[in-house]
Chains A and B, each alone.
Chain A
Amino acid sequence: MSNVNYVTFTIVLVLFLIVTLTGFAAARWRRAEDMMHLNEWGLGGRSFGTFVAWFLLGGDLYTAYTFIAVPAAVFGAGAVTGFFAVSYTIIVFPIALIFLPRLWSIARTHNYITPADFIRGRYGSRGLSLAMAVTGIVALMPYIALQLVGIQAVLTVMGVGTSSTNTYLKDLPLFIAFLILAIYTYVSGLRAPALIAFVKDILVYVMIIVAVFYIPTRIGGWGHIFAAGETHLKAISPVTHKPNGVFIPTTGNSQLAFSTLALGSALALMVYPHAVTATLSTKRRDIIKRNMALLPLYSLMLGFIALLGYMALADKPTVASVKKAGGNAQLAVPYLFQHLFPSWFTGIAFSAIVIGALVPAAIMAIASANLFTRNIFTEFFKPDATPRLQTQVSQWASMVVKLGALLFAVELPRTFSINLQLLGGIWILQIFPMIVFGLFTRWFHRWALLAGWLAGEIFGTIAAYKVATPTTSHWAGSTDLEFGHTVYIGLSAFILNVAIAVILTLIFKAAKVPEGADETQPQQYTADPAQPPSPAPAAVGIGSTGAAPD
């Protein structure tokens, strides 16, 4: 523990302790008669109003990884791979406004806990529901791991960690932080991240407002910041013999990459299981809509967070520190704060990042655990599981998921986790047709959707594997050339997915292949029931008797 600034460290530690107490206390917040229901543990009693939901969704969608990776990408390569995130968080809300309220209504009416519950009820297909559940769990694992990478970046810059060469001892602080998180999530369920999100968002807001107004005055103003960014990005890299990045995408290919990345990521974000979990935890249909109108204000902050990348480029000591740390761009923002802020405020900013990691990690673990419990355990192994048993299974599953993510983050090389996260986005985009199309029409055949999903996943994975740069041989990015145009792989896989689903639906319908029962009714997609139909989640498969086995 050399070079630790004790003021910074103490502040981070104190805020972490406050958050831990909040996490345990959350079990008593809006306490229900019986906590041992997935509606309670897994969805916070489906009772959150606009205010709580805004913090919860904001805390959920804007992860620590956002605060670290987006500016890191801007720091490294500029607009196309980094600043596209701003465009992406612009369009995600109008798009979600179209389908998210429908998902809320149908889930409320039928007491669906997970998006895969909806798939099961809509298409009467266990196979399709399993495909969705597995995709969700697999894609969330590296996402949780990346939250840890965010914490690691802060710990590295703080100089916290033992000097041991043993990975487990070296990352001991990370282990302890995550174990505590796992325990209070186990106890309090979704109430823990919902309550902690208040602390997180306030800290993040303070951090970013101060950064935006204070840092430019220290390093020569916005003009200098943009000039430094432009100079760096236009410089020719000695390794690739190409410019380091793109300051403003003016060529056709960079513009197409920018647009497809933004559009593909926006489509994917709201079908991520953790986004759905936060959505379903709200009390009224209107709350979702109102939040879609309010959350862009959070994105405005993301825009400034992205610009921290250029601020880091304009600050010479930060650039030097990053170079010294092996060119790890993820350390850029933590170093920038450390160099420019007094140590007490660095402590607050670092806490914002660490706590910013805990909130989404908890929600993601809960979302994965619910998918496992509802759509794998109950569906295939124990159809008569009581609500109590389901909750217990979810509690333990959330533990396992977190430990898995921890091993992921510690064992695998850092770049590998990041690439897996890129892959996760490509994977999750392939469940968009079955969920979102399914919210509007029952035209698609369940097996056609399954085939489209499979094709999209295989194509996306192989295409991403083949992406190479002079420095990396595989998984080097998430865009590739399709017919001479640079396109986000997730989006090209998505188009293939939809094309196959349409063609096969036509074929299956012509061949009169059994459709599977649909337990939903059109008016239920716009319903706004004040009370969920029953306190316990419906047994999986209710109403789907008579469905052809698949």
Chain B
Amino acid sequence: MTQASIKSRGPIAAHPVTSAIIAILIVAVVFFAVYVPLYARATPKVGDFPFFYFYLLIYMPVVSIVCSVVVLLQKRIRAPGSQDGEVTR
């Protein structure tokens, strides 16, 4: 019965906060890569790397972490009957 009520509302409507966090994370991770003026600078140099190049390289592991967090959050939304309390609201 619980599952049916969630289905009728859709997972996004049932978890507005988690869904919003997911959306913000994805928009942010794309924005901070695409908005070049933010990092198109030579300084501060990190080691011998100009900031522009350092930023893009360090971004990769960051994306990996953000995507992992998104996957975990999505799991919370999707898992029917899970114990986190949100599903049974």
A248 at the interface (CB under 8 A from B): yes
Contacts of B66 in A (CB 8 A): 94
Contacts of A303 in B (CB 8 A): 53, 56-57, 60
Q: Known contacts A97-B70, A526-B11: does B34 contact A262 (CB below 8 Å)?
A: yes
Pairwise interchain contact B40-A250, C-beta atoms closer than 8 A: yes
Chain A residue nearest to B65 in the complex (CB): A293
A94 to B61, CA, bound (A): 13
A548 at the interface (CB under 8 A from B): no
Interface residues of B in 24-53 (CB under 8 A from A): 25-26, 29-30, 33-37, 40-42, 47-50, 52-53
A440 to chain B, nearest CB (A): 11
Contacts of A297 in B (CB 8 A): 60-61, 64
A244 at the interface (CB under 8 A from B): no
Contact with B along A184-223 (1 / 0, CB 8 A): 0000000000000000000000000000000000000111
Pairwise interchain contact B29-A293, C-beta atoms closer than 8 A: no
B9 at the interface (CB under 8 A from A): no
Pairwise interchain contact B30-A94, C-beta atoms closer than 8 A: yes
B14 at the interface (CB under 8 A from A): no
Contact partner of B64 (CB less than 8 A), chosen from A259, A289, A296, A304, is A296
Q: Known contacts A90-B56, A293-B71: does B26 contact A259 (CB below 8 Å)?
A: no
A220 to B52, CA, bound (A): 21
A98 to B64, CA, bound (A): 15
Q: Known contacts A90-B56, A93-B63, A296-B61: does B36 contact A258 (CB below 8 Å)?
A: yes
Contact partner of B34 (CB less than 8 A), chosen from A86, A87, A289, A294, is A87
Contact count A vs B, C-beta below 8 Å: 103
A509 at the interface (CB under 8 A from B): no
Pairwise interchain contact A94-B63, C-beta atoms closer than 8 A: yes
Contacts of B61 in A (CB 8 A): 296-297, 300
B68 at the interface (CB under 8 A from A): yes
Pairwise interchain contact A226-B67, C-beta atoms closer than 8 A: no
A91 at the interface (CB under 8 A from B): yes
Contact partner of B67 (CB less than 8 A), chosen from A87, A296, A304, is A296
Contact with B along A288-309 (1 / 0, CB 8 A): 0110111011011001100100
A302 to chain B, nearest CB (A): 8
Contacts of A350 in B (CB 8 A): none
A342 to B29, CA, bound (A): 41
Pairwise interchain contact A293-B67, C-beta atoms closer than 8 A: yes
Pairwise interchain contact A91-B33, C-beta atoms closer than 8 A: yes
- Residues of B in contact (CB 8 Å), total 34
Contact partner of A91 (CB less than 8 A), chosen from B34, B41, B52, is B34
Counting contact residues on chain A (CB < 8 A from B), the size range is 35 or more
Contacts of A300 in B (CB 8 A): 57, 60-61
Contacts of A83 in B (CB 8 A): 53, 56
Pairwise interchain contact B78-A526, C-beta atoms closer than 8 A: yes
Interface residues of B in 6-33 (CB under 8 A from A): 7, 11, 25-26, 29-30, 33
Chain B residue nearest to A225 in the complex (CB): B48
Pairwise interchain contact B60-A90, C-beta atoms closer than 8 A: yes
A166 at the interface (CB under 8 A from B): no
A523 at the interface (CB under 8 A from B): yes
Contact with A along B57-89 (1 / 0, CB 8 A): 101110110111011001000100000000000
Q: Known contacts A97-B67, A226-B50, A296-B67: does B57 contact A86 (CB below 8 Å)?
A: yes
Contact with B along A220-258 (1 / 0, CB 8 A): 011101100000000000000000000111100001001
Chain B residue nearest to A266 in the complex (CB): B30
Contacts of A304 in B (CB 8 A): 57
Contacts of A299 in B (CB 8 A): 60, 63
B84 to chain A, nearest CB (A): 18
A492 to chain B, nearest CB (A): 16
Contact partner of B40 (CB less than 8 A), chosen from A223, A249, A289, A293, is A249
Contact partner of A248 (CB less than 8 A), chosen from B29, B30, B52, B70, is B52
Pairwise interchain contact B26-A98, C-beta atoms closer than 8 A: yes
Pairwise interchain contact A223-B33, C-beta atoms closer than 8 A: no
A412 at the interface (CB under 8 A from B): no
Pairwise interchain contact B67-A93, C-beta atoms closer than 8 A: yes
B79 to chain A, nearest CB (A): 11
Add 6 more A-B contacts to A97-B71, A259-B36 (CB < 8 A). A87-B36, A90-B63, A94-B29, A225-B48, A226-B53, A292-B67
Closest 8 CB pairs of A and B: A222-B48, A293-B67, A300-B60, A223-B48, A255-B36, A296-B64, A293-B68, A296-B63
A-B contact pairs, 21 of them (CB 8 A): A90-B56, A91-B29, A91-B30, A93-B67, A94-B66, A94-B67, A95-B26, A95-B30, A97-B67, A222-B47, A247-B50, A248-B41, A249-B52, A259-B36, A286-B71, A292-B71, A293-B64, A297-B64, A299-B63, A300-B60, A526-B11
Residues in A lying within 8 Å of B, measured CB to CB:
79, 83, 86-87, 90-91, 93-95, 97-98, 221-223, 225-226, 247-250, 255, 258-259, 262-263, 286, 289-290, 292-294, 296-297, 299-300, 303-304, 307, 523, 526
Residues in B lying within 8 Å of A, measured CB to CB:
7, 11, 25-26, 29-30, 33-37, 40-42, 47-50, 52-53, 56-57, 59-61, 63-64, 66-68, 70-71, 74, 78
